A and B are shown apart, each in its own frame.
Chain A
């Protein structure tokens, strides 16, 4: 006991006096029964979870690194559309009619054009005399 205390004091004060640094690392003894494969697998799982956590926090940073600003009115389309693991999402009822894509704009444009032309014609034909 006294020997180890003495050795500890010598190590502490001598190292300070000589401005030395202790750089050697002695690994603790491996616990009995620890399989190297299992340790590797556990390590990779831990790293994966750490990476996922970091990624989740880094999404904003990645976006900013890309120099991209997200418009407020526009949703992040990649959040939903790219996930191939989604199951069937069809929720409309069978036999739904096609969406109302009928547009009156072409007819309105033609009517407007006709009105404009006829009006211009009437204004151009001033009564003579």
Chain B
């Protein structure tokens, strides 16, 4: 009696582990692909800028899952490529940019969300006053964290702003097993120094 039960548990446990491991591995692969695509687009921008030929049409929609920005929080060693959209597949591959929110560095509220068990594992350690920067295209923006709060998952969390604002969200508590009931909301405002692409490209 125990033997069939042992087989069943072994098989189900193995399959579950394989599924979760595969999901994590797939996310890691897609994040790496996104990083390569980001580096390539950055290289194109460098070449275009060097040739003084940056003339872009501003009408093309961005494909869901496309890399749109790079998010770096030096103190927490977070360096992630942000993808467009916040659906399951996108968030498995990297932090997602909420469609309809502003792009980092532009006027308005730019919302970036990530999973607490993958790319934003250390986001809970962030403190008010920490600095971070984002790169989107040829624009680098520096930010300082001005607030950090925890709210219920169903509570209103995101608001429009006239000025440039960066909002990072993830689930809370970070170490919660299961579907986390709360959200960590980190708000940052731009620092005075805004980078040019030349300085960004040299790093």
Contact = CB atoms under 8 A, between A and B. Distances in A.
A76 B18 CA distance: 34
Residues of B in contact with A, size category? 35 or more
| Main secondary structure on B side of the interface with A | mixed
A10 interface: no
Given A62-B51, A66-B47, A112-B14, A105 B20 contact: yes
Contact of A102 (B14, B17, B48, B180): B180
Given A83-B58, A90-B100, A109-B17, A98 B158 contact: yes
Given A73-B63, A88-B107, A90-B109, A112 B20 contact: yes
Contacts of A103: 91, 115-118, 171, 179
Contact of B23 (A78, A84, A89, A105): A105
Contacts of A114: 13
B138 to A, nearest CB: 4
A55 B138 CA distance: 18
Contacts of A34: none
A115 B13 contact: yes
Interface string B94-115: 0010101111111111010111
Contacts of A84: 105-106, 139
Contact of B158 (A80, A97, A110, A126): A97
A125 interface: yes
B130 to A, nearest CB: 20
A56 to B, nearest CB: 6
Contacts of B109: 90
A116 B10 contact: yes
A69 B40 CA distance: 8
Contact of A68 (B40, B69, B111, B136): B40
Interface of B: 2-3, 5-21, 23-24, 33-34, 37-38, 40-45, 47-48, 51, 53-58, 60-63, 65-69, 84, 86, 91, 96, 98, 100-109, 111, 113-118, 120, 136-139, 151, 153-162, 169-171, 177-180, 183, 185, 197
Interface of A: 52, 55-56, 58-59, 62-63, 65-66, 68-71, 73-84, 86-92, 94-123, 125-126
